[in-house]
C-alpha cells in the first residue's frame, strides 16, 4: 500500500455548500491534493472568494465558483453542465450543502419542515441524479453529509434528524443500485464541528459552548475533510454504502 491510494489528485469534484465550514474545507483540501473543484452555494458573492482563494494559492487544483441552490433542479443541472464544460467530467460529488434551525416539534411549521427536508435530503437527490450520467461514465464516488443527529435522534431538530436519516438511507440504497456501474456511494455523519453555521445556530462561538450540553471534543472542518478525501480515494475501495461517524470521544473518559 502506498499513500498514493489516498490521493484525489487528477479528479474533478463538485462540493455543494462550499462557501463556509465543512464544505469549504473539503474544497480546499481537494484542490490542495490536486483535484479540480466546482464550489457552489446559494450566493455567487459567498462562493467567489473561496474559488479565488484556491486559485491564488499554490494549490495545484483549479476552482470554479457557481451560484446554485441545491433545491432548484434547473440550477443544479446548470452546475453539473458548467463543471463538465470547465473540467471535462465529474469524478466525485460531495453533497455537503445543509442547514437547520432549532425548534420544538410542535412549533415546526409545514414550511419550516419542508425547507429543512428540501435542502438536506431533496438537494442530495437533485445533485446526485443530475450528476449521475457523468459519474457513471467512468466510475466515481458520491459522498453525502449526514449527521449524528440522523442516527440517534435529535430533540429540537426533529426535521433535521429525519432528513439526515433519509440521507443515510439513500446512501445505502443508491450504493447497491449503482455498485455494478462502478460508482461508490458513502456518507459521513459528523458530531459537533465548529463551523459558522453551527455557531450561528447555537448563538455562541465554539469556544463558548456550554460543555455540559456538548460533552465531546468539538471537531474541526479539516477532520471531516480528511474522511471525505479518504472516501473519494482508492484507499476506500472496499467501503460501499456506509455511513461513517466522526464525533471524537467524550471529554472525560474514566480509566477502568
Ligand atoms: N457543523 C456540524 O457540527 C455538523 C454536524 C453534523 C453534520 N453537519 C453537516 O455538514 C454539512 C456542512 O455543515 P456546516 O456546519 O459546514 O454548515 P455551514 O457552515 O452552515 O455551511 C453550510 C453551507 O451550505 C450552503 N447552503 C445552505 N443552503 C444551501 C442550498 N440550499 N443550496 C446550496 N448551498 C447551500 C451555505 O452557503 P450559502 O449560505 O452561501 O448558500 C454554506 O456554504 C451540512 O450538511 C451539515 O448538516 C454539520
- Cβ of 13 closer than 6 Å to ligand 1, yes or no, is no
Return the pLDDT at 125.
98
Return the pLDDT at 255.
64
Can you read off the three cell numbers belonging to residue 159? Answer: 426535521
Model-wide pTM > 0.85? yes
Give the H/E segment covering residue 62: none
Return the pLDDT at 80.
98
Q: Which of these, 17, 80, 11, 1, lies nearest to 233 by C-alpha position?
A: 11
Name the residue at shortest CA distance from atom 30 of ligand 1. Answer: 69
Within the chain, which residues score under 50 in pLDDT? none
Q: What's the CA-to-centroid distance between 181 and ligand 1, angstroms? A: 29
Q: If you ran DSSP here, which 8-state letter would residue 189 be given?
A: E
Return the pLDDT at 256.
65
Name the residue at shortest CA distance from atom 17 of ligand 1. Answer: 197
- Cβ of 61 closer than 6 Å to ligand 1, yes or no, is no
Can you read off the three cell numbers belonging to residue 243? Answer: 455511513
Domains of the chain: 3-189+219-246 (3.40.50.720)
Return the pLDDT at 205.
81
Best of 16, 18, 23 for a ligand 1 pocket test (most atoms within 8 Å of beta carbon) = 23
- Cβ of 89 closer than 6 Å to ligand 1, yes or no, is no
Give the H/E segment covering residue 240: none
Long-range contacts of 97-102 (CB under 8 A, 24+ apart): 97/16, 97/17, 97/23, 97/40, 97/41, 97/70, 97/123, 98/17, 98/123, 98/145, 98/147, 98/164, 98/197, 99/197, 100/157, 100/159, 100/160, 100/201, 101/201, 102/156, 102/157, 102/201
Amino acid at each position: 500500500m502506498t499513500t498514493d491510494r489516498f490521493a484525489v489528485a487528477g479528479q474533478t469534484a463538485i462540493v455543494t455548500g462550499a462557501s463556509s465550514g465543512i464544505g469549504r474545507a473539503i474544497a480546499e483540501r481537494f484542490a490542495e491534493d490536486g483535484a479540480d473543484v466546482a464550489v457552489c452555494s446559494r450566493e455567487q458573492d459567498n462562493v467567489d472568494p473561496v474559488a479565488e482563494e484556491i486559485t491564488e494559492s499554490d494549490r495545484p487544483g483549479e476552482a470554479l465558483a457557481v451560484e446554485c441552490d441545491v433545491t432548484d433542479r434547473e440550477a443544479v443541472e446548470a452546475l453539473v453542465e458548467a463543471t463538465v464544460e470547465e473540467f471535462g467530467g465529474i469524478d466525485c460529488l460531495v453533497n455537503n450543502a445543509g442547514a437547520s434551525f432549532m425548534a420544538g416539534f410542535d412549533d415546526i411549521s409545514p414550511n419550516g419542515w419542508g425547507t429543512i427536508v428540501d435542502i438536506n435530503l431533496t438537494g442530495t437527490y437533485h445533485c446526485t441524479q443530475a450528476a449521475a450520467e457523468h459519474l457513471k461514465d467512468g466510475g466515481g464516488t458520491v459522498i453525502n453529509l449526514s449527521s449524528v443527529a440522523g442516527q440517534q435522534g435529535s430533540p429540537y431538530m426533529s426535521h433535521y434528524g429525519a432528513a439526515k436519516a433519509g440521507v443515510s438511507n439513500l446512501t445505502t440504497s443508491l450504493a447497491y443500485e449503482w455498485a455494478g456501474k462502478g460508482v461508490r456511494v458513502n456518507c459521513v455523519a459528523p458530531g459537533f464541528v465548529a463551523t459558522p453555521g453551527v455557531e450561528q445556530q447555537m448563538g455562541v462561538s465554539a469556544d463558548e459552548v456550554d460543555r455540559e450540553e456538548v460533552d465531546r471534543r468539538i471537531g474541526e472542518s479539516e477532520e471531516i475533510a480528511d474522511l471525505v478525501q479518504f472516501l473519494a480515494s482508492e484507499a476506500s475501495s472496499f467501503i460501499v454504502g456506509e455511513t461513517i461517524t466522526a464525533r471524537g470521544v467524550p471529554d472525560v473518559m474514566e480509566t477502568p
